[in-house]
Amino acid sequence: MEWTLEQQALATIKSPMVSQGVPLQTMIDRLAQDSRLRREFAAIYDRSIDIDGVVDAIAYYERSLVTPGSRFDLWLAGNNSAMNEQALRGYKRFKQLGCVSCHQGQNVGGNLLQKHGIFRPLATPEPRILRVPSLRNVATTAPYFHDGSARTLDQAVKKMAASQLNVDLKPQEVVDLVAFLNTLTGNYAGQKVRAPE
Ligand code: HEC
The span from the CA of 49 to the CA of 28, in Å, is 7
Residue 133 located in a structural domain:
yes
Average pLDDT over residues 45-51: 97
Contact 116/100 with Cβ under 8 angstroms?
Answer: no
Residue 197 located in a structural domain:
no
Q: Indicate whether 50 and 128 sit together in one domain.
A: no
Q: Indicate whether 176 and 153 sit together in one domain.
A: yes
The span from the CA of 128 to the CA of 168, in Å, is 22
Q: Give 44's pLDDT tier (boundaries 50, 70, 90).
A: very high
The span from the CA of 146 to the CA of 182, in Å, is 20
Q: What's the CA-to-centroid distance between 60 and ligand 1, angstroms?
A: 28
Query: What's the whole-number average pLDDT of the chain?
Result: 96
Q: What's the CA-to-centroid distance between 33 and ligand 1, angstroms?
A: 41
Ligand 1, atom nearest to 113 Cα: 12
- End position of a domain, from candidates 44, 63, 82: 63
Contact 116/164 with Cβ under 8 angstroms?
Answer: yes
Q: DSSP letter string over 25-72?
A: HHHHHHHHT-HHHHHHHHHHHSS---HHHHHHHHHHHHHTT-----HH
Average pLDDT over residues 137-166: 98
Residue 1, pLDDT above cutoff 80? no
Q: Indicate whether 88 and 127 sit together in one domain.
A: yes
Pocket of ligand 1 contains residue 163 by CB under 6 Å: no
Q: Indicate whether 55 and 96 sit together in one domain.
A: no
Task: Give 152's contacts (C-beta < 8 A, 6+ positions apart).
Answer: 142, 144
Average pLDDT over residues 57-76: 95
The span from the CA of 159 to the CA of 173, in Å, is 13
Percent of the chain scoring above 70 in pLDDT: 100
Contact 170/156 with Cβ under 8 angstroms?
Answer: no
The structural domain count of the chain equals 2
Q: Indicate whether 153 and 124 sit together in one domain.
A: yes
Please write the tens of the pLDDT for every residue from 167-189: 999 999 999 999 999 999 999 98
Average pLDDT over residues 125-140: 97
Structural domain that includes position 18: 5-63
* CATH code of the domain in which 164 resides: 1.10.760.10
Pocket of ligand 1 contains residue 130 by CB under 6 Å: yes
Average pLDDT over residues 71-78: 98
Contact 41/49 with Cβ under 8 angstroms?
Answer: yes
Q: Which pTM was predicted? A: 0.86
Pocket of ligand 1 contains residue 97 by CB under 6 Å: yes
Ligand 1, atom 43, residue with closest C-alpha: 102
Q: Give the pLDDT confidence score for residue 197 in this predicted structure.
A: 81
Q: Indicate whether 75 and 50 sit together in one domain.
A: no
Q: Give the pLDDT confidence score for residue 135 in this predicted structure.
A: 98
Pocket of ligand 1 contains residue 116 by CB under 6 Å: yes
Q: Indicate whether 42 and 85 sit together in one domain.
A: no
Ligand 1, atom 32, residue with closest C-alpha: 157
Pocket of ligand 1 contains residue 122 by CB under 6 Å: yes
Q: What's the CA-to-centroid distance between 114 and ligand 1, angstroms?
A: 10
Ligand 1, atom nearest to 156 Cα: 29
Residue 53 located in a structural domain:
yes
Q: What's the CA-to-centroid distance between 19 and ligand 1, angstroms?
A: 29
Q: Indicate whether 58 and 131 sit together in one domain.
A: no
Q: Indicate whether 88 and 152 sit together in one domain.
A: yes
Encoded amino acid at 80, one letter: N
- End position of a domain, from candidates 63, 79, 110: 63
Q: Give the pLDDT confidence score for residue 58 in this predicted structure.
A: 96
Residue 2, pLDDT above cutoff 90? no
Q: Indicate whether 32 and 76 sit together in one domain.
A: no
